[in-house]
Structure 1
Amino acid sequence: MDLSNRTVLIVGGTSGIGRELARRFAAAGSAVAVGGRNPEALSELAEEGFGTFRIDVTDGVSVASARDAVLARYPELDTVVTMSGVMLLEDLCDPAHFEAAERTIDTNLLGTIRVIDAFTPHLVERGAGTFITVTSGIAFLPFPPMPTYAASKAAVHAYSEALRAQLDGTGVSVVELVPPAVATAGQEKVNPRALPLDDFAAEVTRLLSQDPTPDEILVERVLMHRWAERDGTYDDLVAQRSQALAMLPNRRG
């Protein structure tokens, strides 16, 4: 993928990985718009020169309205990155977790589908373009304190695979970005092994720039997650990660 001449929309790009990818695309020479819910972050990004759009991926009306506004300003849009997501702890022994599960599915999975549905007709009509979906290493190697997050990202992986098959022959490609733990929003304090954001973004940019672009963007740090079952390390790694269940409030002490 040539990053120097794209017209890109990053939905969920107001912070963290999305915000850094917006800057990387722009630095390479692409026109970049960012969609999100945080008005302060959108204002800051507008001051940096990005197009900004208010969008709530859990609301179909909001998604449709944002799509119309984006296409009115960027009729040459050819790349849509959908990465809105929430990561919530859940204690599955507590029925109250269901609210977190609903929110997670509505944002991470259904939000992704809403955005893709909104822009598929435009990209197919163009006869060229790219969807970039964002999953997680946790899609392939669950993190037990966040069960629905893992399930939602596994679902986005499967959906991306099916979308790629259905769009075959249209000129529209589907690329899946699979991040490991990345040090954003103070996560380096929670997980000292998290990959620094700059290092992650640099590696992603290099992988995206390959020709042909891989169907899955896998930085080196996420390979242990992606191929755990194939490599026979899955059971041991899940058991190791299950120690983190002590993070749950009712299991502390």
Structure 2
Amino acid sequence: MPTTLSVNVNAIAGLRNRRDLPWPNVEHFGRIALEAGAHGLTVHPRPDQRHVRFTDLPILRALIDDEFPQAEFNIEGYPSEDFLVLCEKTEPEQVTLVPDDPSQATSDHGWNFRRDRALLEKVVERLKKKGMRVSLFADGDGDAEAVAIARQVGADRIELYTGPYGGCFDQPEKAAEIVEMLGRTADAAMEHGLQVNAGHDLTVANLPALIRRIPALAEVSIGHALTADALEHGMAETVKRFLRACGQKA
């Protein structure tokens, strides 16, 4: 199966939130992305609502349900009680759990699966009882034992944290080393029956090498680079560029 693209609209929401005005409209750009062929939308509703607001979630849920029923809604976040209730109300197809401190600017590491095993086991069970697929943010450091724990706590997928790979945009040899390490992590995950997603600082330029190394990569979630490219190419054309980078016709 080809790698699917979920468009993270947090950067669009963050730009909107700079003013007390309704634009850029998150629903509008989500619609453009889905019309252009994106397979889903991703949001990360942080407690301070500095990006996506809680009120955006039912609007995006309705957009998918009413106009793009084949698409998926992916909600990312730290599994606080408030976040879990938000997921239960919104019923996304996928929940991606991240170990973020609320004060972090953005996600920058995966779970410590050994330390956080009991927490994750409880949370994953709760979400899966509601019919949601659960993905756990994971460091792409080749730790086979860690991804085995991810499977043991009941997760369906891991999402490889690709920030270090994106940060090597001007260091091709280092980037190749990191891709190989990400690939080893993905191999171990798939050996344990997990599917593999990836996200953070992925671009049109660096996606092809990642997918060549992990041809069974299920999904990429992309926001920052996609939104930046949309300033130059427009949202619809940018989505098509990223789809082509994923190896799809667009």
Question: What is the TM-score normalised by the length of structure 1?
Answer: 0.36
Structure holding more helix per residue? 1
Q: Which has the larger radius of gyration?
A: 1
Question: What is the TM-score normalised by the length of structure 2?
Answer: 0.37
The structure whose RCO (Cα within 8 Å, separation 6+) is larger is 2
